[in-house]
Amino acid sequence: MAAYLVKRLAFTIPVLFGITVVVFFVVALIPGDAVDAMMTQIKLSADQMAQLRRQLGLDDPLLVQLGRYLGDLFRGDFGRSVFGYHPVAGLILANLPATVQLTVAAMVIAMLLGIPLGALAAVRQNTGWDLLGMFIALVGISVPGFWLGLMLIQLFAVGLGWLPITGTGLRPLILPAFALGVAEAAILARLTRANMVEALREDFVRTARAKGLNQGRVVWRHAFRSTVIPVMTMLGMQFGTLLGGAVVIENVFARQGLGTLVTRAVINRDAPVVQGVVLVAAAMYVLINLLVDVLYGFLDPRIRYE
């Protein structure tokens, strides 16, 4: 187990390094530099611009700049926003919790809706229930989340006044998390169904039935267990999609978060902020998948790390 962890980490570190390099070069490709971007806010003379470029090290060769960027990151310095000159690390820290909260809530909703729907379809395979369940899932993956969000706001917040979309606590989180989680629920439903249909044909399920266990116990204690790992894997892989979806959903609900931060930054061409958010998102994705891999061993004792 320890050896596996070391190996897995050894693979993760170069990927994280690669992500950083890619993000650095993406910004290096943007026409114009930070000083040009500042010109949209304050007027500088050619001399002042040249001096500022020297101060910021923008005249140095790219590799030197890359080295400095990596060093700064290591110290937690993500650079400064072109607009307002706020430290990017501070902006990210201030907005990260809201996005994580939304993403986790969407995952919970996806599991609460998707897994039972998939299990129902599998247990009642080839019946009307199965067909209905899978049709709901198909609609779920086809509906744009941002549009669903707009409609939910209209119906539940503006129309019926049941749920707020601003304020603190869990209640304002329900509608955006639902809008973000529905597509994920649909994917989990399809996956759960496919795995449970297989599992229900296995010998250990037949044995459990032969022992006279009731249907609920057979389904949840025996057949469902074998679907936990694929579901976990899918959730890990889909974490990136959820983060991307959160960018859009935050804008729909005008929620604070990395999504609204990065969208504004892209429109303003605020490169350091885009750079920071994309870097943090990719790193989170890599680390979550590392975590999922490690969790396998606890979930399925048959897996041995060698």
Q: Comparing C-alpha atoms, which of 64, 84, 49 is closest to residue 270?
A: 84
Residue 199, interface with other proteins (CB under 8 A)? no
CA angle 42, 48, 51 (to 5 degrees): 130
CA angle 190, 112, 121 (to 5 degrees): 35
Residue 121, interface with other proteins (CB under 8 A)? no
Taken in order 177, 179, 182, 183, the sign of the CA dihedral is negative
Backbone angles phi, psi at 270, to 5 degrees: -85, 80
CA angle 72, 262, 139 (to 5 degrees): 135
Which of 266, 290, 294, 295 binds other proteins (CB under 8 A)? It is 266
Q: State in angstroms the smallest separation of the CB of 227 from other proteins.
A: 13
Residue 15, interface with other proteins (CB under 8 A)? yes
- Asked if residues 277 and 81 have their Cβ atoms less than 8 Å apart, the reply is no
Contact pattern from residue 222 through residue 251 relative to other proteins, giving x for each residue in contact according to CB under 8 A and a dash for the rest: ------------------xx-xxx-xx--x
Q: Find the binding residues for other proteins in span 21-60 (CB under 8 A).
A: 21-23, 26-27, 29-31
Helix, strand or coil for residue 270?
coil
- Give the interface segment with other proteins, choosing from 83-91, 196-204, 206-214, 280-288 (CB under 8 A): 280-288
Helix, strand or coil for residue 305?
coil
Which of 4, 5, 8, 19 binds other proteins (CB under 8 A)? It is 19
Residue type, 89: A
- Give the interface segment with other proteins, choosing from 2-10, 165-173, 219-227, 271-279 (CB under 8 A): 271-279
Residues in contact with other proteins by the rule CB under 8 A: 14-15, 18-19, 21-23, 26-27, 29-31, 138-139, 141-148, 150-151, 154, 158, 190-191, 194, 240-241, 243-245, 247-248, 251, 262-263, 265-267, 269, 271, 274-275, 277-278, 281-282, 285-286
